[in-house]
Amino acid sequence: MQELAGDQVASAPASGRDGRGDGLAGAGAAVPGRAARKASHLGDFTVRPRMLLITGWAVGVGAASALAAWVLQKLIGLITNAVFYQRWSTDLVAPGLHRHDPALVLLAPVAGGLVVGVMARFGSEKIRGHGMPEAIEAILTAGSRVAPRVAALKPVSAAVSIGTGGPFGAEGPIIITGGAVGSILAQGLRLSADERKTLLVAGAAGGMAATFNSPLASVLLAIELLLFEWRPRSFVPVVAAVGTSAVVRGFLLGTGALFPVHVTDLHLAPGVLALCVLSGVTGGALAVAATWLVYLAEDGFARLPVHWMWWPAIGGLVIGCGGLLQPRALGVGYDVIGALLTGQATIGLIVGILVVKTIIWSLSLGSGTSGGVLAPVFMIGGALGALEGAAFPTVAPGFWAMMGLAAVVGGVMRSPLTGVVFTLELTRAWPAALPLLISSTAAYALSTLVLKRSVLTEKIARRGLHLTREYSTDPLEAFFVRDVMDSDVFMLRDTDTLAEGLRRTRADHEGPADRVQHLYPVVDEHGRLVGVVTRNDLLERMAEGGDAATVADVMRRDPITVHPDDTLSHVAYLFAEHGLTRAPVAARDDHRAVLGMVTLAHLLHGRRHDLTEDRHRERVLSAPIPRTVARQG
């Protein structure tokens, strides 16, 4: 394959491709000089004004998701107060603040699990689980469509599960509920699947922001876990939804930090930062153990000889037994998280939460009940850090609890930046950004090295799907057609008879198999592109008795063409859209001036380059040899 020479495409020899046969030489039309090679038609992002329309819809979705988060919290408070304190109140409280009847602690979670199982069995199975995998699955397999009944049943089932003592958070259910709000709106409009995905994620992120008053972390979570892209068309609407949700939350639930920690300027010694790495490693190890325990439990429940409808009730029995040992491990436990992060928790509470909460959360989550993962992870991570703080040097009240929280979030969710920003927004302890980044990243590194998948993506994999969370620039975006096209092309005249066309293409087909062109541009007497034809087209027409026919009678008119300054990614999408494997290359300012041919095989060039950069190792710089040594040699 001939490459570009200087600023022009190398013209084909008059005798045709590789000097074989008498096919017409490729037109020697010049590609414009280097100044035109800037590809001014391309930009950093692909964005259209329609993004503003979707952003407008996202504002409404954000407001609705904030209202849904408020309703869910009030519903959890109502059920918790009714079950554990026998009073009518919607204030968000946790079980265990007072001594409860042991029978109540043991049986309330069982009753809640039974209700959730019945709702899932006769309502919608989609309400099972902790919300995020269900949202991801809807995006990946259902065109971002969520059934309206899921939007109604999920918050109710979560409120029942948490309100009866389930050790879960409200954020997972609100992700699928807020996502359902966005999806339902999108389904009522004439939108594409990608636009539905944007509104679904806008609702999910808006609900998350309203639950924790953490707008930045919610946007990061949307990018790292739900959008599967970094593009203005989705980022701008999601931010609009999150911003609106945060404003509405301010009127409903206030604007203060959920767990305020007062940290002044930190001047940390290198030894403290080294201990942050250790805290991250232990947090990552706990994240791995908890993830493993969740799916060990799920496998165990799958082997039970009973219908899955009964599994949440069995998981509720595990919760009840744990509640007898440590009642404050039940429920959302925001008060416990606050005590851990402010250094007010006792060693007994810390150890009890660390052991009991980890076990009952992991085992009950594996039962398929309804509840979120973030609040329990906050509590478990905070307990681990608080326990480490008993041995580590004192930095500030709650400092090590924050490190543990960020580490376990980074390890369980495999989203280190989200772990850092969540911790900062929950506590407003902004001076702790650097140690939090170190701790969260250390946990993330360990988790990714030890486990193939996270607690979120493992559930997706078990449903027969694969989700990669590695995002990089498409190598096909880095190369242009002019970098790989074959500029030495066989062409036919529209006035050629079929016999002449077959004779001209015979030499091409008798050459090396990997050099056969297959598709031939057809030009008129002025060398202008008028169509394309294949050798099989000519043979089929000849077999039908087309001795008097010409190439013009057989060719396909108005062929799809590409331009030298098109990216290979654009060509790949064009080929996929039209079912092509090759296309003529024409000048951008003159679509009938043929410059070459690009094929499906050429698209592999970018992939090969990416593979080489990933695997080929070489020493670029080497130590210079001193002159005295060189002379002695």
H, E, C per residue of 221-289: HHHHHHHCCCCHHHHHHHHHHHHHHHHHHHHHHCCCCCCCCCCCCCCCCHHHHHHHHHHHHHHHHHHHH
Q: Could you tell me which residue, 244 or 413, shows the higher pLDDT? A: 244
Structure tokens at 473: 């620039």
pLDDT in tens, 370-407: 777 888 899 999 999 999 999 999 888 889 999 999 99
Q: What is the pLDDT of residues 255-274, one digit of tens each?
A: 888 888 888 777 788 999 99
pLDDT, one tens digit per residue, over 612-627 is 777 777 777 776 656 6
The pLDDT value recorded for residue 628 is: 57
Radius of gyration of the chain (CA): 32
Q: What is the model's pLDDT at position 352?
A: 92
pLDDT number for residue 240: 97
Q: What is the average per-residue pLDDT within 132-148? A: 79
Long-range residue pairs from 121-128, CB within 8 A, at least 24 positions apart, any chain: 121/307, 121/309, 123/149, 123/153, 123/157, 124/149, 124/150, 124/153, 126/150, 126/154, 126/176, 127/153, 127/154, 127/157, 127/158, 127/370, 128/308, 128/312, 128/368, 128/369, 128/370
pLDDT tens across 447-456, in order? Answer: 999 988 887 7
Tokens coding 558: 């108005």
Q: What DSSP assignment string belongs to 17-37?
A: GGG-TTPBPPP-PPPP-GGGG
pLDDT of residue 287: 92
Q: What is the mean pLDDT of residues 161-173?
A: 85
In the structure, what pLDDT confidence band is assigned to residue 61 with cuts at 50, 70 and 90? very high
Q: How confident is the model at residue 143 (pLDDT cuts 50, 70, 90)?
A: confident
Per-residue confidence band for 2, with pLDDT thresholds at 50, 70 and 90: very low
Q: Which residue has the higher pLDDT, 291 or 171?
A: 291
**Calpha distance 275→463 (Å, rounded):** 39
Structure confidence at residue 8 as a pLDDT band (50, 70, 90):
very low
What is the average pLDDT score of the chain? 84
- Over range 577-583, report the average pLDDT: 90
Tell me, what's the pLDDT at 37? Answer: 59
When pLDDT is averaged across residues 122-129 and rounded to a whole number, the result is 82
Percent of the chain topping pLDDT 90:
42
Q: Is the pLDDT of residue 126 over 90?
A: no
CB neighbour list of residue 100: distance below 8 Å, 6 or more residues apart: 84, 327
Mean pLDDT confidence for 155-161: 89
Distance CA 435, CA 441 (A): 10
Query: Are 492 and 23 in contact, with CB atoms under 8 Å apart?
Result: yes
Give backbone dihedrals phi and psi of 32, rounded to 5 degrees, phi first.
Answer: -55, 160
Phi, psi of 585 (to 5 degrees): -105, 125
Q: What's the one-letter identity of residue 263?
A: V
Question: What average pLDDT does this structure show over 229-238?
Answer: 91
* pLDDT at residue 439 tops 80: yes
At 431, list the tokens.
């001076």
Strand ranges of the sheet holding 519-523, from the earlier edge strand across to the other edge: 492-493, 519-523, 529-534, 556-557
pLDDT score of 590 more than 70: yes
For 317-375, what is each residue's pLDDT tens digit? 999 999 999 999 998 888 899 999 988 889 999 999 999 999 999 888 888 887 778 88
Contact (CB, 8 A) for 208 and 221:
yes
Find the mean pLDDT for residues 4-33: 37
Highest mean pLDDT among 307-321, 476-490, 594-608 belongs to: 307-321
State the pLDDT at residue 13: 33
155 has a pLDDT exceeding 50? yes
Q: How confident is the model at residue 610 (pLDDT cuts 50, 70, 90)?
A: confident
Look at the block and give the residue holding tokens 């020479």.
5
Mean pLDDT of 506-520: 75
What band does 138 get if pLDDT is binned at 50, 70 and 90? confident
Task: Supply 441's token pair.
Answer: 């990243």
pLDDT reported for residue 152: 83
- How sure is the predictor about 228, in pLDDT bands with cuts at 50, 70 and 90? confident
pLDDT surpassing 50 at residue 10:
no
pLDDT at 112: 92
* Cβ neighbour number for residue 335 with a 10 Å cutoff: 16
Helix axis angle for 270-302 and 358-365, nearest 10°, is: 40
With a pLDDT cut of 70, the percent of the chain lying above it is: 91
Q: 244-253, 318-327, 504-513: which range is least confident on average?
A: 504-513
